[in-house]
Amino acid sequence: MTGQYIIRRLLIMIPVLFGISLIIFTIVRVIPGDPAVVLAGPHATKDVVDQVRVQLGLDQHPVKQYLLFIGNIFKGDLGASNRTGLPVTKEIMARLPYTLLLALASILVATVFGVTAGIIAGVKQNSKFDYLSMLIALFGLSMPVFWLGLMLMLLFSIKLGWFPSVGAESFKHLVLPAITLGANSTAIIARMTRSSMLEVIRLDYIRTARAKGLSEKVVISRHALKNALIPVVTVIGLQTGTLLGGAVLTEIVFAWPGIGRLLVEAILSRDYPVVQGVVLVVATMFIFVNLIVDILYSYLDPRIRYH
């Protein structure tokens, strides 16, 4: 039955993937000017422009163009950067591992701290810990990522010299960017966990568990936690996706060589093949993260697994 559920989820993804490809396909074609010139870049010679035109079928019917576009995607051909001349796939592949590493480290930080703080705050509602952690969470929610990054850099690398300020050579280089990028998500996850915990803890079955004579520890860990975490899993999934997008700012601050920086460089230099490629990859990854979340969800909540 779980299999059926996953298949249904996969089917729902199709129109969204179609929509994304259509939007990305449309981008270069709505920008004023000849799409071939746009894609070939501002410094391309006429020969290169003509070559691009023929390669992408830009002189043909739009439907045919779109089919060619999709076909190329499946072949792993996203065109060539008009800055470096390298295949976009290659450019992205060189940068993607850095972004994935950063996003993963950040979501790990955010999950560990967010869920823990959220549970404690929820269980000890109106305690000092609750007020303090929720105030910090609100700070985290309001903090501009790029400013937080600069301030952490100012304190921990410039003043204290504990961590390097820029680059991606070692584990030490990862610490500050991961905290910076994860701060916002930590706050969101903590708030979500707390409110979910508060909601669950009022429910009838928690009273049943208490009436059984279970200790408060078991009531929380076995009866409340799993239920409370169901909505939190969704938030963590959504945040993982947001982190992929949010990595842009962090990567700029810490000169982290990920795809976010690649994207900004591409936008500033009107390197549209790279813009297309990066957006396509990030959006697709986001959708797959959501799929994974849905599957996890069904594992946590038997009501979904069976219906």
Min dist. Cβ of residue 47 to other proteins (A)? 26
- Residue 138: CA count within 13 A, CB half-sphere: 5
Answer yes or no: are the C-beta atoms of 249 and 145 closer than 8 Å. yes
- Pick 175 or 278: Cβ nearer other proteins: 278
- Pick 23 or 54: Cβ nearer other proteins: 23
The residues, any chain, with a CB within 8 Å of residue 276's CB and separated by 6 or more, are: 24, 27, 28, 78, 79, 88
Min dist. Cβ of residue 280 to other proteins (A)? 10
Which of 47, 34, 189 is CA-nearest to residue 121? 189
The residues, any chain, with a CB within 8 Å of residue 239's CB and separated by 6 or more, are: 107, 110, 185, 188, 189
Measure the CA–CA gap between 82 and 88, rounded to whole angstroms: 9
Min dist. Cβ of residue 84 to other proteins (A)? 18
Distances (CA, A) of 163 to 168, 186, 246, 257: 12, 21, 22, 17
Min dist. Cβ of residue 22 to other proteins (A)? 8
Min dist. Cβ of residue 71 to other proteins (A)? 21
Min dist. Cβ of residue 118 to other proteins (A)? 16
Q: Please name the amino acid found at residue 186.
A: T
Measure the CA–CA gap between 47 and 270, rounded to whole angstroms: 19
- Pick 48 or 279: Cβ nearer other proteins: 279
Min dist. Cβ of residue 307 to other proteins (A)? 8
- Pick 45 or 142: Cβ nearer other proteins: 142
- Pick 84 or 208: Cβ nearer other proteins: 208
Following DSSP, what letter does each residue of 208-276 receive, concatenated?
HHHHTT--HHHIIIIIIHHHHHHHHHHHHHHHHHHHHHHHHHHHHHTT--SHHHHHHHHHHTT-HHHHH
- Pick 50 or 142: Cβ nearer other proteins: 142
Tokens describing residue 102: 């950063």
- Pick 50 or 164: Cβ nearer other proteins: 164
H or E element: which one contains 281? helix 272-300
